[in-house]
Amino acid sequence: MKNSEPKQNRAAQAIRAQLSEGLDEADEWRSEIERLKDENERLDHEYRREHEMYIRNLADFDAYRRRVERERAQAAQAGKRELILPLLDVMDELEQAIERANDDPQSAPAELRAIHRRLAGLLAEQDVAAVDNQRNLSIKEAEGHDRSKS
């Protein structure tokens, strides 16, 4: 039996050494698992922070886009108003000239020239150049046409 005891002792020592190595390896794995859990938690926190920043930036951009659209619409409306109000004045003058032309047809050409000048001035203020073409009647042709009606 003595002979078997050293064998058993060596076997037991070998088993203890393997167990010790296994325990050391298990401790290493536990440490690695803890490190990975910590890294996962850190990355998850970083992801949430980045996502929140993305959502905020998206909301900021959407608000900026709406503000720019609103300002653009207001500028367009102001531009229309700037053009339309003087045109309404010219329209009033034209209506008055038509009423007076019914009473005194001879005064119509002079009033039409004055209204034409005013309208040309308004267009020039808007950087619109007058273009002569076949559709535009000259003032003299209009005067001759009015006189032939009388």
93, 115 Cβ separation under 8 angstroms: yes
Band of residue 139 on the pLDDT scale cut at 50, 70, 90: very low
HEC readout, 9-49: HHHHHHHHHHHHHHHHHHHHHHHHHHHHHHHHHHHHHHHHH
The number of distinct structural domains making up the chain is 1
pLDDT of residue 79: 85
pTM value is 0.46
Q: Judge contact between 139 and 112, C-beta under 8 A.
A: yes
Quote the strand ranges of 51-102, DSSP E: none
State residue 61's pLDDT score. 97
Range of the domain at 35: 4-149
Report d(CA 107, CA 97) in Å as an integer: 9
Residue 45 confidence class, pLDDT cut points 50, 70, 90? very high
* Amino acid making up residue 147: R
**pLDDT tens for each residue of 65-106:** 999 999 999 999 998 888 888 888 888 888 888 888 878 878
